[in-house]
Amino acid sequence: MMNAGMTISPADPEFERIADTLGRFLDDLDERNQRIVYKTEASFREFCAYAVQSIAASLGYTLTDIAEFIKDMGASWSEGWRSGRDRARRASLRYRGGV
């Protein structure tokens, strides 16, 4: 690893190795950011599902399929996780293409 005070350029013998290490770290970083997005959404959907149940009851409406509603949200969450990963991956590829 290079240390403070040193400069770095592509001609440096360490450059490629450091770039590879950084690249692996960026993979990890992006994965974490995706997880934050989808955990946030999953939590929000769960909150909404139970809030809807409570609101409907207070308004005097019967939600016969609230269990299904919540279950569907769970399915949406896992689908969202997968499709979100794909979206992020595509976006990442586009970004790289523009570098």
CA–CA separation, 84 and 88 (whole Å)? 6
Query: In whole angstroms, how close is the CB of 5 to another protein at the nearest point?
Result: 8
The pair of three-digit structure tokens given for residue 27, joined into one six-digit string? 């993979």
Question: How many residues form the binding site for another protein (CB under 8 A)?
Answer: 58
For residue 63, state whether it binds another protein (rule: CB under 8 A). yes
CA–CA separation, 31 and 27 (whole Å)? 6
For residue 99, state whether it binds another protein (rule: CB under 8 A). yes
For residue 11, state whether it binds another protein (rule: CB under 8 A). no
For residue 79, state whether it binds another protein (rule: CB under 8 A). no
Collapsed DSSP state (helix, strand, coil) of residue 57:
helix
State which residue, 33 or 78, has the beta carbon closest to another protein: 33
Q: Which of 13, 40, 81, 84 binds another protein (CB under 8 A)?
A: 40
CA–CA separation, 59 and 4 (whole Å)? 64
Query: In whole angstroms, how close is the CB of 45 to another protein at the nearest point?
Result: 7
49 and 73 Cβ atoms separated by less than 8 Å: yes
